Structure 1
Amino acid sequence: MSGVAAAFLCSSSKSRATVYDRLKHMVPKLAFRGQAGVGIAAFMHKEGVRYARALQSSCDSVRIEHDEQDPNFRPHVAIAHIRSRCRGISDGGDLQPIHNNAGTSRSLAISLDGALVNGRELRGELLAQGYRLGSNTDAELLLKWIEGSCERDYWRHGLPVNYENIFRDIDDRIDGAISAILLDGEGNLVAYRNRCGLRPLETMQTDDGFLLVASENCAFADLEGKTQQILPGHIRYVDGKMGYCVDRSVSNGQYKAKLCAYEALYLGNPNTSVEGQSHFETRYNIGAALGGLVAQRLQGELGSTLTIVSSMPHTGGPYADGLFASLVEYGVFAQRREVVSTQFFQRTLIGTPSERKCLIAQKYRVSETSLAEAAIIIVDEALIRGDTSQAVTNMLLAAGAKAVHWAIGSPPIVAPNYYGMGIDTLDELAFWQIWKQLPPEQRTQILRFHKMEPQDLKIIESNIAASINAATITYLPFPLLVSLLPCRQDGVDLSPFTFEMPTPAGQKRANRNLRELAADLPYSESILA
């Protein structure tokens, strides 16, 4: 879970803006994708590649170190990585752009968004060939693979690198969700999106002579130019000397993008659009649909109780707005107020249980003192592990709330995400923690996941509600979710709710995990088949 961006100043440009100016425009708009800092690699002819950090100076602007330290360094190309917190990294950040230590012409730097499912196998191949790997990140793994191919096929022979061939080999070998931007020691730029298309990658050719690349099209807001999506299994190559730009397919077939559902529900900026529909619209519409379910469920329970609709910051706002509007239409008297605030922006999705528990306790606060006897409806896009929702519920009850109800803008999350979202095992998901406590017959029926009967969903809702001390939980049913997403069902990865993985290695791993868990259940084989 991170973001990437790049800016290339074309030779025909007469703009007074720099590539740093363009990165400073794009990076804040990608902040939803990671809150652990921004790394930058930039290239200037006769000066080579330099590395810098970008520091967030406000919610909508950043400051780049080199910009102030050396105003004479004016690169024509720069790449950025918006860092997420990453397990196994000592300072809590995925330190990119990652680069090699080769000579000037052989320098490589890469920024990566996503994850490899078969990374362990690829790592084993590199180690067997004698490569040394300093960290346990997919970014380093991909960089080493590119470096090895460049050395073997081009550098040692004094030949220019053919990145089309390099990335064709990579696309054949990797399984996962990858978007990446590569900058080499000659100022060449390569933007790559692997064949499964789970991670978006967008470009803009600006009217004032820049080629921009970013993880989301919201990064180009307020700029004039032509936007285009990099297709799955394609690269866009920009020559560092001549400035010409070409698109090339690096796959042995045509692949359609299958965007991860988390992009629309959680990860993407609300202003990003897919198929002409913004994530804000999608989230608002989901909240409105969810509001009808909540109204039917709670209308008899609320009575004259003061009812407050609030969101989980910073992603639940559109959901709560839609739900509140829907409640009003159903005649439920409620107030729309934010009763939960945060002390910092960093997400608590990634990390060990103890790290996350500490962060959650520090991050969330009750922002109002007048909650006595109020019924609070907290609206969130997902309930993953249940530890954040439990902590917030307890805070609100301690502040005097009569009851806390949760409205969740997605179905139960039943599958780990092997593609870079920090959800690695079944055991950490709230769904499976409850599932293990149910009688065998109920457990078997609930293995239908998105096809489970309504009464089975109610069992999950009531048990998870009890586990987090909430009065009720209302999930968005799977068919409603599918109807509200901008892409058709075959254009979105819904594996978090279906256990149907978008890549072969992911499905193999998921099947193994699921069969181990359900091995002792009656009739589970027929359901899982």
Structure 2
Amino acid sequence: MSGVAGAFLCASSEPWSRVVDQLKKMIPTLALRGQAGVAVYAFMQERGIRYARAIQSNDNSVRIDGIEQDPRFRPHVAIAQIRSGGGDDGDVQSIPSRYFAISLDGALVNAHELRSELLAQGPLIDTNTDAELLLRWIERSCEREYWRHGLPADYEAIFRELDDRIDGAISALLLDMNGDLVAYRNRSGLRPLETMRASNGLLLFASENCAFAGLKGETQQLLPGSIRRVDAKSGRSVDHILNSRGCKAKLCAYETLYLGSPNTSVEGHSHRQTRHNIGLALGRIVAERVQADPLLMPPIVSSMPKTGGPYADGLFDSLAEQGVLAERSDVVATQFLERTLLGRPKARQSRIAQKYLVSESAVAKRTIIVVDEALIRGDTSQAVTTMLLAAGAEAVHWAIGSPPIVAPHYYGMGIDTLDELAFWQALKRLPPELRAQSLRFHRMDPPALKIIESNIATAIQAATITYLPFRALVPILANRLEGIDLSPFTLEMPTPAGRQRADRNLKALLAALPVNPRLRSAS
């Protein structure tokens, strides 16, 4: 997961500082999308592209080292990448290029194949990330088709070929050596790219429209399978559809449920309201369980910090509507913002241990209902459960605002295998005769879901886990199901290479289980 932001000054008479100032305002709004720092690239005529780092302080203020300190460098365009990484290197490195700078949101599924094609044309440097690979592909295309013939690059043709070749979820901003900007969203439409032509003379780009808060202007999404090219000299922009068939966005479910800011909306649907509605539906299920086992003291409803708040608010409101007495108090706090989803296992475990803290006085002898948007691997929920119990909590119940995550995610979320998911670890512990129902995934019957919930609860030392059933999620998203990729819950991957990779992953895992052939075919 990552994010992009860009600001282009269309009126040359305006102060250049507005580009940098606007970018500094946008970067904090996208902070939840990254954890490995922010890379900034800016362009000034006759001085070319300059690389810098954006440093965010605890008070959310941002400074951009390497640009703000030089009053002679006055860019008319700047782009930023809010980097995800694994959080292990603690630094953001420039991608060396004489010709381009790129900011990327998302991931390639077929990166290995693309790298092999480029290697067949000659040696490669610095293609360890998808952003670097995309950059080298564009450079090679420009050199082969245009520059060696003394021609200007035809970005429409270059990105049309690229869109045909890549499989994955990509939104990107490309800045070239002339100061032209190209915004690109690939045909899958899984990753958003919003634009605004603001009334203050800036043309803005961002992964989420929360970055445009407080501005007036025309906002729209860049269509899947298209580019927008902005001319450095005139400031005019032109959209090009790369595929004559047209492509409809299929926005990744993680955007709505987990990754996107609560302050973002997509086609008029607020993430905050959607998450609150999910909390309401989840609360109706939790209420039945709480009422079946009356408590001496009202339970405390707590969210997981930063992202779980709207879910917890909805669940608390739902309990109140049904006459269940509870308290709403966030007893889990964080010591830093960065996500713990990405990275190598040991590094992730270390960050989890350092990130969360609880107050003994707030939880002692109390029953805690922790509301979270998803339970993916289970290691974060296990660590928080352990902390709460160690602080004196009577019991810890988890309410999860999504169905079980049953699929890997090759599109920028860092979930590469089935085996790392809590669902599959729980399924392994089931007797073979009980696995068939669970292998129906989003179509599993309620008794099978309860068995999975109980198994995962035991693994993380929680009293209970309550997932939002898939059939309860569908009505909440009913008027836009066609525009949301629900593969995390269905294992029905949204791209061809993703399906092939998931099928191989599934076959390998099932082959390792002592399951008879009839059960293997149940999925």
- Kindly report which structure 2 residues correspond to 1:173-322, keeping only aligned pairs within 5 A, or say none: 173-322=165-314
Q: Deviations over 1:132-163 (max 9, x none)?
A: 13242111110010000000011111111110
The corresponding residue for 1:521 is 516
For residues 361 and 305 of structure 2, what CA distance do their matches in structure 1 show? 18
2:409 to 392, 413, 417: 417
User: TM-score scaled by structure 2?
Assistant: 0.96
For residues 516 and 169 of structure 2, what CA distance do their matches in structure 1 show? 33
Q: Displacement of 1:527 after TM fit?
A: 2.5
Q: Displacement of 1:521 after TM fit?
A: 3.2
- Kindly report which structure 2 residues correspond to 1:33-112, keeping only aligned pairs within 5 A, or say none: 33-86=33-86, 91-92=89-90, 95=93, 98-100=95-97, 102=98, 107-112=99-104
For residues 369 and 4 of structure 1, what CA distance do their matches in structure 2 show? 41
For residues 506 and 344 of structure 1, what CA distance do their matches in structure 2 show? 33
Q: Deviations over 1:82-126 (max 9, x none)?
A: 111238xx6155646x341x3xxxx11111100000111111111
Question: CA 1:379/1:242 → structure 2, altered by over 3 Å: closer, same or farther?
Answer: same
**Superposed CA RMSD:** 1.6
The corresponding residue for 1:373 is 365
For residues 72 and 459 of structure 2, what CA distance do their matches in structure 1 show? 59
The answer as to 2:111 corresponding to 1:116 is: no
For residues 369 and 174 of structure 1, what CA distance do their matches in structure 2 show? 53
- Kindly report which structure 2 residues correspond to 1:302-381, keeping only aligned pairs within 5 A, or say none: 302-381=294-373
The corresponding residue for 1:22 is 22
Question: CA 1:186/1:201 → structure 2, altered by over 3 Å: closer, same or farther?
Answer: same
Q: Deviations over 1:311-353 (max 9, x none)?
A: 1111111111111111111111111111111111111101121
Q: Deviations over 1:259-285 (max 9, x none)?
A: 000001110011100121211111111
Q: Displacement of 1:210 after TM fit?
A: 1.0
Q: Which ranges of structure 2 fall in alignment gaps of 5 or more residues?
A: none
Q: Secondary structure at the match of 2:389?
A: helix
Question: CA 1:128/1:277 → structure 2, altered by over 3 Å: closer, same or farther?
Answer: same
Q: Displacement of 1:16 after TM fit?
A: 7.2
Q: Deviations over 1:453-491 (max 9, x none)?
A: 000000000000011000000000112212223752221
Q: Secondary structure at the match of 1:302?
A: coil
For residues 68 and 150 of structure 1, what CA distance do their matches in structure 2 show? 32
> Aligned pairs, how many?
520
2:403/2:467 contact within 8 Å kept:
yes
Q: Deviations over 1:343-396 (max 9, x none)?
A: 111111011211111111111111342422211000000001111111111111
Moved over 6 A (4+): none
- Kindly report which structure 2 residues correspond to 1:484-523, keeping only aligned pairs within 5 A, or say none: 484-485=476-477, 488-519=480-511, 520-523=515-518
Question: CA 1:167/1:309 → structure 2, altered by over 3 Å: closer, same or farther?
Answer: same
Q: Secondary structure at the match of 1:473?
A: strand
Q: Secondary structure at the match of 1:413?
A: coil
Q: Which ranges of structure 1 fall in alignment gaps of 5 or more residues?
A: none
**Identity across aligned pairs (percent)?**
67
1:15/1:208 contact within 8 Å kept:
no
- Kindly report which structure 2 residues correspond to 1:364-403, keeping only aligned pairs within 5 A, or say none: 364-403=356-395
User: TM-score scaled by structure 1?
Assistant: 0.95
Question: CA 1:59/1:196 → structure 2, altered by over 3 Å: closer, same or farther?
Answer: farther
For residues 200 and 482 of structure 1, what CA distance do their matches in structure 2 show? 22
For residues 344 and 60 of structure 2, what CA distance do their matches in structure 1 show? 30
The corresponding residue for 1:151 is 143
Paired amino acid for 1:523: R
Mean CA deviation greater in 370-379 or 229-238: 370-379
1:376/1:405 contact within 8 Å kept:
yes
